[in-house]
């Protein structure tokens, strides 16, 4: 299997569990998040996937998830690139706030707009459009060339940095991509054509773990 691109959102973090806006803050994984990462690695191994290179963000929760996946795959020495351009969307003044507290401060409608619109940024933070503006050039310069060269590539990142990639890969609109939910620790496997379009897509989250 060549020209494979696998995307994995990091396992549950401490702030995911507490329902906090995280963004560029750097909490670690929960025990559940560690289990999710290991399960993702076992899933990929059971399906016969091996990787030539991996990419992750500058944040611990994604890096730790990648490390655990590679341990399960028996590929701990894999060449890995870390870059903040794959970081989660920066939530600015929302970072560290409980989502219910944010709704009390700014109102349900405004918080929903910040969370679920494509181009409206929270105070001091990024919209999904802003996030895509840093993620997609990095994909084109670093990740896609590896896939195009016939290598199997693993990307472990965050809900919104991965949404930016998925939007491009699947040709989705901004409205469509903000509605896409990404489970933690659930591999999404793409096989790509030579022009970068998607040949097929598989979601491994429902596959049995051996």
* b/e per residue 76-112 (b: at least 16 CB within 10 A): eebebeebebbbbbbbbebbebeeeebeeebeeeebe
Quick one: CA torsion of 15, 16, 18, 24, rounded to 10 degrees?
A: 30
Which sign does the torsion angle of CA 71, 14, 163, 143 carry?
A: negative
Indicate the helix (H) or strand (E) that contains 192. Answer: strand 188-192
Give how far Cα 184 sits from Cα of 40, 86, 122, 159, Å: 10, 16, 23, 8
Structure tokens at 208: 């049995």
Residues catalogued as catalytic: 10, 88
């Amino acid at each position: 299997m060549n020209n494979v691109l696998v995307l994995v959102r990091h396992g549950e973090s401490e702030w995911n569990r507490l329902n906090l806006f995280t963004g560029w803050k750097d909490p670690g994984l929960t025990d559940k998040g560690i289990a999710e990462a290991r399960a993702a690695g076992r899933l990929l191994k059971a399906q016969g996937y091996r990787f030539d290179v991996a990419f992750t963000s500058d944040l611990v929760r994604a890096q730790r998830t990648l490390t655990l996946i590679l341990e399960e795959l028996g590929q701990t020495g894999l060449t890995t690139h870390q870059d903040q351009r794959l970081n989660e969307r920066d939530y600015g003044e929302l970072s560290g706030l409980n989502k219910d507290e944010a709704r009390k401060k700014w109102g349900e409608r405004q918080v929903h707009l910040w969370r679920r619109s494509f181009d409206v940024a929270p105070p001091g933070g990024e919209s999904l459009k802003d996030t895509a503006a840093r993620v997609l050039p990095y994909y084109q310069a670093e990740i896609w060339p590896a896939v195009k060269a016939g290598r199997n590539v693993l990307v472990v990142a965050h809900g919104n940095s991965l949404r930016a990639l998925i939007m491009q890969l699947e040709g989705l609109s901004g409205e469509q991509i903000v509605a896409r939910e990404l489970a933690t620790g659930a591999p999404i496997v793409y096989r790509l054509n030579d022009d970068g379009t998607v040949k097929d897509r598989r979601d491994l989250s429902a596959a049995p773990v051996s």
